[in-house]
Structure 1
Amino acid sequence: MSNSTHFHPDYFLLMGIPGLEDSHLLISIPFSIMYFLSLLGNSIMVLVISTHESLHQPMYIFLMMLALTDVFLSSTTVPKTLSIFWFGSHEISFTGCLTQVFFIHFNFATESGILLAMAYGRYYAICHPLTYSSSITGSFIRKVAIMVLIRSLCTITPFVFLLKRLPFQKSIAIGHTYCEHMSVARMATANIMVNVVYGMVIASSLSGVDMILIVVSYTIIVSAVLRLPSSEARYKAFNTCVSHICVITLFYIPAFFSFIAHRVGHKYISLQFHIIFANLYVLVPPMMNPIIYGVRTKEIRQRAMPMLGRLVTGGFQNS
């Protein structure tokens, strides 16, 4: 390899969705609507929980953490994607690209840890109700939050250094709407086996283990609920878990599909479908999570509807 290839370019060119350039403006319409709904729903969730002392309970604090993470996850990618679609702003600096890689994966790892903590909270509430309030305390939640953030930082930071060590050509055009670890690594002019292996190890040991522990916790929960003598008690217990199960499904299934597509699916899945799906992955769960919890959680719904009504009324009055 010649020495001329051993450097980092000043910028990358994010090309959007190759082959669908003429449809970028049309595609941006549903993307921008979903992003707006995501920001609106999660912001209301945070405001409702933070401003009502009656909701300063473990389950709702976890929901607020999830909402904040969703805002960061979608905001890491969507603004740049829309700038490509609307203004043809394809350039992203090398440092900006690595920053985007870090925060995409950092927010994903953080959300996975929060979902695991929420599953543990549901397990404790149903299987050990007498000691729930004394075990799942504010101090416990703070410790969990710190541990989740430290875990995400320690496991995701190496992605940046693994990319930074790679040589790239002088001009790099990435067929994507944002910088993802493997989409950037594939542009390098050197062997990326270390990147591939580390990505697989992290996916399996972090999110994979989280998902397994969540499945185990809900297996125990279901077993405990089925032993309850009252059908009303069983219904109430199941009802408290349905929202969380829906959110988990929305989060993990698209994430693992995207992970597999990056490594082996590019041979069988069209690039256009992969990129659109990768964008939906950072848009749909953040948009749906507040809707799911807002609809199914009475305490949040009762407080969110007046706030949403005031926002709509104020908007009409201003117009």
Structure 2
Amino acid sequence: MSKLTLDVDAVQAFVTIADFQSFTKGAEVLGTTQGAISVKLKRLEQRLGCKLIERTPRLVRLSAQGAVFIHAARDFIAAHERAVTALGSECRHFRLGIAEHVAGPEIPMLLARLNARDPALIIEVRLENSRSLLDAFDGGELDAVIVRQEDDRRDGEDLGPEYFGWFAAPDYEQREGEPLRLAALATCCGVRDVSTRALIQAGIEWNEVFVGGGHAAVMAAVSAGLAVAACSCRLAPADSIEVSQRLGLPPLPSSRIMLHTTLSDSRSREVLRTLAAIYREHRPVKRREAGH
């Protein structure tokens, strides 16, 4: 009986398609075309004698056989990576800075997939304000940074849009005739500058009743019903609602999330493609005010 041998690239294509539930995103991560990974998957399925991925115009998912094979496939890829890096290759460090007002629910998935993609990679993540991260990047302390476009005007890779709104607890009440109670980040925050400028232009008075303490603290003040905050629709507390129309607050301009890096070697570029694909997978949407 002949032994069954598997092609590493074909198995990697299958795992990547399964991870992102998309041929397009899988091709982006692997730096190839959708047609190329489709061919690799087809050859793998022919080799194994079963269908691994079910594909419809709206859905890409594992077949029953694919769900059984996926764990072994991940182990196969990890073993291959260990074998490749075993002789003379030291663990590599990847130093990533993410602005604290950009870091969102995709971060745990990002780190897990980067580790699965390159088990020999040691990932160091810094969550700080944009200015500190950009200074560290310019000083060679970080390999890549993710910030909002307005925080740094140089060219970078566009990871997608960022939408903003005014958020408050569902039971928040604004007393008639009183200034808006505003929770805001520190004075160096770009979102604070944009939102207060919008309030000035709209002729709306406000008092900053909760300032600083980081994004988590400001969002806690919102959830507690203490104030209104201008923030990313992607990062607003799940128990908050958009209150622009109810309170007559001005619209806020959207922004872009940008990736800056100086890395150009092939292994680093693979990591960066994975990172970019994960951010694009979690493209934010505008949160409409309840009842509108």
**TM-score normalised according to structure 2 size:** 0.24
Q: Whose strand fraction is larger, Structure 1's or Structure 2's?
A: 2
**TM-score normalised according to structure 1 size:** 0.23
- Whose relative contact order is higher, 1 or 2, with alpha carbons under 8 Å and at least 6 apart? 1
